[in-house]
Structure 1
Amino acid sequence: MRDHPDYSLSRRDILVSGAAGIAATSMTEGAAVAGTSRPPDAPPAAAVAFKVNGKARKLSLDTRTTLLDALREHLKLTGTKKGCDHGQCGACTVIVNGQRINSCLSLAVQHEGDAIVTIEGLGTPDKLHPMQAAFIRHDGYQCGYCTPGQICSAVAMLDEIARGVPSHAQVDITANPEATSGEIRERMSGNLCRCGAYSNIAEAVAEIAGSRA
């Protein structure tokens, strides 16, 4: 009778085979990181051009890159803060085509041709935006982490009122809104301050609103 081949494996054989497989996988992944090969499931890169703080910028980005990460990591505009990264705190608020948005919830590739303003584009240490100066006068910050988003939101919010955009605080949404204390607090409610400087923030915004009236 013909002898059957011996297919038995020792524990050592299994361990050696497993180690070789792990090493091969690591080499493949390392090559991908080094740029010598591209994983087949990697998302494509996309070119996006927009204007940021008045300057034309063009980037080649992973299509999953948020506007927040494009601003912070690629353009080094770190004034815009990453807080919750879920659109709940408002620390990442920027102004896009005159409207405030949470940049952590928006993909950079969605903003082809848009005009984006960050806190760096509102004013400089030598020439502050009126809202920035008001925040300083009224101590509208403590740790300062949420402040860039608060200021961008406040600037765009007063423009919303000027354009007649209604809010939940209005009794008659067909009437022209006014920058009352209730309106300001309602419209700024999406910007959280962990330090609790809300009353000072409201005072700063009210001052600028009054100067516009």
Structure 2
Amino acid sequence: SHELRTPLNGVFGWARMLQSADMDDLARQRALAAIVRGAAAQVRLIEDLLDVSRMVTGNLRLDLRLVDLRHVIEAALEMIRPAADAKDIEIEADLDGTPATVLGAADRLQQVLWNLLINAVKFTPRAGRAHVRLRRGETAAEIIVSDSGEGIAADVLPYVFDRFRQEDSSATRAHAGLGLGLALVRHMVDLHGGSVEAQSPGKGKGATFTVRLPLAPPGGGEA
């Protein structure tokens, strides 16, 4: 319940300031931006809970079409840019020039990328760096998201994709998370016939997440 209330507390706080304080234009814009970020975070938490409910009941369905992963990554980067800019985090993108076409649901694959990228932004200190790479093999494509953030302890790595699991409660409180994002990532990737793994040299040394998805059969056309 604490994690669900955290974004709302920020929204209410800034809204009260707008009501009661004599703010200049710069402060007013800052308050409005904070309210939008808080509302977006609340929406994402609710959507994650709804998706987990669908996942548990087996009601999560995919609308499969030919999708170029380059477009999926570019769309996710556009969505995450404001959150990264707010922390002065630079996100580098290295996309293979060759189309990487998979049979998938574009919205769900974008959700996978968004969750991995927001995870990188959340757990990377201000002015840090994140990197997303796309690699196309003979039968599969790899999307690799890495960051210079807090890293993951070795004893936690096997459990990072479990529902409601985060490394410690202080991290959950600080970053307003429910520990659902990575569980959803794994489930979405599984539904696409792919795999996802997490790697980290240890605490304070960043983390890398690798998603592997089977390429669409040749002759299927472009996404």
Pairwise TM-score range, normalised by the shorter structure: under 0.3
**Structure 2 length as normaliser, TM-score?**
0.26
- Greater C-alpha Rg: 1
Higher strand share: 2
**Structure 1 length as normaliser, TM-score?**
0.27
Q: Which has the higher contact order (CA 8 A, sep 6+)?
A: 2
